[in-house]
């Protein structure tokens, strides 16, 4: 399905018999057919047979002809015959990108809704607003919109070498480009320079925007940049980063999966080198 979502808060008009796509989450796991490759689309009776109840329905918009909904499940299915709950990370790795994009959005909305039931200012219950994706306090009117955390991710090169690092949280042996949260009061460019200095001890220049990617764990927006080494040798803090090195494109370590913007930044550099010297990489 090469469709993209037409987002909406309230149900858009389409044919009466238009199909629905249900993105049903129990915590961080999505309800799928047993094969793990298709969304489970239960009718009313099947929801009952599965012993599933949901407390809220969030309309997401239309993809192709199908109305898309996000629902939080209170419990796991009683009878797992024919269905499976699959971790969102593995869903992103294995399913079609049109589905995974909406699945990421659905997870973020469900997570935001679940964690904004009460006002952070006065503690009273919040209720959903009708005209926009927001929740409002029933007493003091304070509004909360879905939360987004901007994270910069940056590819630093030195001539034909790439700076790759690993944190203690990444899978064994895997290296990637540097990334970190943007802090209040910072521009994105300042965040890029600070992160590279903090994590690798290096000054950079020629910072350029590359692209972005929503990353729903649980509400990040990855903003990608490229930059060039200006001064300094690698110096790591040993906490956030446990190892970092300069790598040539012929000797790259284990890399993150192709869906991540970190990998796209690395692949783009490899292509660039290959285009420059076609004989070098075959
Ligand atoms: Zn309040």
Identify the pLDDT of residue 1.
Answer: 45
Measured in Å, residue 3 CA sits from the centre of ligand 1 at: 39
pLDDT at 122: 98
Above pLDDT 90, what percent of the chain? 64
Q: Which residues of 203-219 are buried (b: 16+ CB within 10 A; e: fewer)?
A: ebeebeebeebebbeeb
Joined together, the tokens standing for residue 193 give 């320079």
Q: How do residues 60-98 score in pLDDT, each as one tens digit?
A: 999 988 889 999 988 887 666 778 899 999 998 888 888
Rounded to whole angstroms, the Cα distance separating 124 from 208 reads 45
**β partners of residue 124:** none
Give 109 Cα–ligand 1 centroid separation in angstroms: 21
Ligand 1 centre to CA of 126 (Å) is 8
pLDDT the model gives residue 84: 87
CA of 143 to the centre of ligand 1 (A): 8
Query: Residues near 217 by Cβ (< 8 Å), separated by ≥ 6?
Result: 88, 89
Q: Give the 3-state secondary structure of residue 114.
A: helix
Domains and CATH numbers, the chain: 5-114 (3.90.79), 122-146 (no CATH), 149-276 (3.90.79.10)
- Residue 213 — pLDDT band, cuts 50, 70, 90? very high
118-165 per-position pLDDT tens digit: 999 999 999 999 889 999 999 999 999 999 999 999 999 999 999 999
Going by pLDDT thresholds of 50, 70 and 90, the confidence category of residue 281 is low
Q: What number is the average pLDDT over the span 236-264? A: 94
Q: Can you list the alpha helix ranges (DSSP code H) found in the chain?
A: 44-49, 88-94, 97-114, 188-200, 261-276
């Amino acid at each position: 399905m090469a469709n993209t979502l037409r987002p909406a808060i309230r149900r858009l008009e389409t044919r009466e018999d238009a199909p629905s796509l249900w993105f049903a989450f129990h915590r961080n796991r999505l309800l799928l057919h047993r094969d793990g490759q298709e969304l489970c689309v239960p009718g009313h009776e099947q929801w009952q047979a599965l012993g599933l109840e949901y407390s809220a329905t969030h309309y997401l918009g239309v993809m192709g002809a199908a109305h898309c909904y996000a629902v939080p499940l209170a419990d796991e299915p009683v009878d797992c015959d024919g269905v499976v709950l699959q971790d969102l990370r593995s869903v992103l790795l294995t399913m079609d990108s049109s589905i995974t994009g909406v699945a990421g959005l659905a997870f973020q909305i469900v997570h935001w809704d679940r964690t904004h039931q009460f006002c952070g200012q006065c503690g009273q219950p919040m209720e959903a607003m009708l005209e926009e994706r927001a929740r409002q306090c029933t007493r003091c009117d304070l509004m909360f919109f879905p939360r987004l955390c901007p994270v910069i991710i940056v590819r630093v090169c030195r001539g034909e070498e790439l700076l790759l690092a690993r944190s203690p949280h990444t899978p064994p042996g895997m290296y990637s480009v540097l990334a970190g949260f943007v802090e209040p009061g910072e521009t994105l460019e300042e965040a890029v320079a600070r992160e590279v200095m903090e994590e690798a001890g290096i000054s950079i220049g020629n910072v350029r925007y590359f692209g972005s990617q929503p990353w729903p764990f649980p509400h990040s927006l990855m903003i990608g940049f490229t930059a060039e080494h200006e001064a300094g040798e690698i110096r790591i803090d040993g906490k956030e980063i446990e190892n970092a090195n300069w790598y040539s494109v012929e000797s790259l370590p284990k890399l993150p999966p192709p869906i991540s913007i970190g990998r796209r930044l690395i692949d783009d550099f490899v292509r660039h080198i290959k285009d420059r010297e076609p004989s070098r990489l075959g």
